[in-house]
Amino acid sequence: MTRLVKPAALKELGSSVDILDVRREADFRAAPGMIPGARKQDPEAVEQWLPGLDRKRPLVVYCARGGSVSRGVAEKLAAAGLDVAVLEGGIAGFQG
């Protein structure tokens, strides 16, 4: 089961976690803002960028609404042994 982080909790975590924006390109173009400190990563290319992640730091991933895109990426990262959570409500929940 995918672990969830509420937007308020993410704000409290600050720089203690790495934040990955895994929105699909169309969703990113529709709402291009990002959570401060986040890095944009292609959700269709996890295997390509996964080796560059710091395995010692916890991760929070988010998509547009915290649905299947971020959960799918989180499952792949967790299967690779990373400590990962999904931002509940995605960027929409963070901004709202």
Question: Among 40, 42, 37, which residue's Cα sits nearest to residue 72?
Answer: 42
Output the pTM of the full model: 0.94
| Cα–Cα distance measured from residue 93 to residue 96, given in angstroms and rounded to the nearest whole number | 5
The second-level CATH assignment, the architecture, of 4-95 is 3-Layer(aba) Sandwich (3.40)
Q: Please, which residues bridge with residue 85 across strands?
A: 60
Quick one: pLDDT at residue 10?
93
Does pLDDT of 11 surpass 90? no
Task: Give residue-wise pLDDT tens across range 25-73.
Answer: 999 999 889 999 999 999 999 999 999 999 999 999 999 999 999 999 9
Quick one: pLDDT at residue 2?
83
Question: Among 13, 17, 27, 37, which residue's Cα sits nearest to residue 69?
Answer: 27
**Residue ranges covered by each domain of the chain:** 4-95
| Cα–Cα distance measured from residue 51 to residue 33, given in angstroms and rounded to the nearest whole number | 26
